[in-house]
Chains A and B, each alone.
Chain A
Amino acid sequence: EVQLVESGGGLVQPGGSLRLSCAASGFTFSAYAMNWVRQAPGKGLEWLSYISSGATSRHSADSVKGRFTISRDNGKNSLYLQMNSLRAEDTAIYYCARDLADFNKYYFDYWGQGTLVTVSS
C-alpha cells in the first residue's frame, strides 16, 4: 500500500525557517517524481514545488522561489521542503504528492495527510 507521511510542521515566527519531511513507503520511491502542494486555511490548493525521480530537475512556483527548496533522499525514501524567510501567508497545510511526470503523465495519484505550518509571532 502506498503511503506518504508528512512531518515537521509547527508554529514558527515570521522570518523563521522550517524543514518538512515526507516519508514514503509501499512503492519504489526512487522511480517517481514528487511534489509539495499547500492549502491555506479555508482556501484552495496551491502547487509549490516539483522534483524529478533522480533529483536532476526541480521547479517551484514563483510564490516560493528563492525561499523554499525541495530535495529528496532516495536512500531514505524521503522528500523534504526547506522553508526559509517564512511569512504569515505561508500558513497552510502542506501535502506531499506523488507525480507520474517521469512516465509522461502529469497528475498526482497519491497524497499524504498533510502537516500544518503556522507562521505567527
Chain B
Amino acid sequence: QSALTQPRSVSGSPGQSVTISCTGISSDVGVYNYVSWYQQHPGKAPKLMIYDVSKRPSGVPDRFSGSKSGNTASLTISGLQAEDEADYYCCSYAGSYSYVFGTGTKVTVL
C-alpha cells in the first residue's frame, strides 16, 4: 500500500486559510469515507483532528474542517493561528483492518 500524497508544506499568515490535500486511490480514499487527520507538534504524539472525512472530535476548534472528492481528501484550517503550526497527516482506512497514512504536510504560520 503506497502512502497517500500530501504537499510537503503549506504556509499562511495569521487569520488566513490554508488547505492541505491528500490524494489516494480508488481502494482507499476513493472508496471509504474513513479519512482522518492528525496534527503533530515537534516531539509530540499525533492528535486526532478530523475523522470520518469531516467530523471534529470534541475540543477541536471549528476552524478545522475536512472534505473529500473522489480520491482526494482535504483539510482546511480557517483563521490560521500560531499554535496551528505543526505537521499534519491524513490517514485512510484501506480495507481488511489496514490503514494508510499520508506523506505529511508541514504548516507554517508566517
Contacts and interface: CB of A to CB of B under 8 A. Distances in A.
B110 interface: no
B3 interface: yes
Interface residues of B, number: 27
B61 to A, nearest CB: 17
A110 B36 CA distance: 13
Contact of B46 (A50, A101, A106, A111): A111
B98 A44 contact: no
Interface string A94-121: 0101000100011111111110000000
A106 B104 contact: no
- Interface centre among A44, A45, A61, by most chain B C-beta atoms within 10 angstroms, is A45
B97 A50 contact: yes
Interface residues of A, number: 26
A114 B45 contact: yes
A45 B1 contact: no
Interface in B43-87: 44-48, 51-52, 57
B20 interface: no
Nearest to A4: B45
Contacts of B48: 107-110
Nearest to B4: A44
Interface in A42-94: 44-47, 50, 52, 57, 59, 61-62
Given A44-B3, A44-B102, A47-B100, A111 B47 contact: yes
Contact of A107 (B45, B91, B103): B91
A109 B104 CA distance: 18
Given A45-B38, A47-B98, A107-B91, 16 more contacts: A37-B46, A44-B104, A45-B40, A46-B3, A47-B99, A52-B97, A61-B1, A61-B98, A97-B46, A101-B97, A105-B34, A105-B51, A106-B34, A107-B93, A108-B48, A113-B44
Interface of A: 33, 35, 37, 44-47, 50, 52, 57, 59, 61-62, 95, 97, 101, 105-114
Interface of B: 1, 3, 32, 34, 36, 38, 40, 44-48, 51-52, 57, 89, 91, 93, 96-104
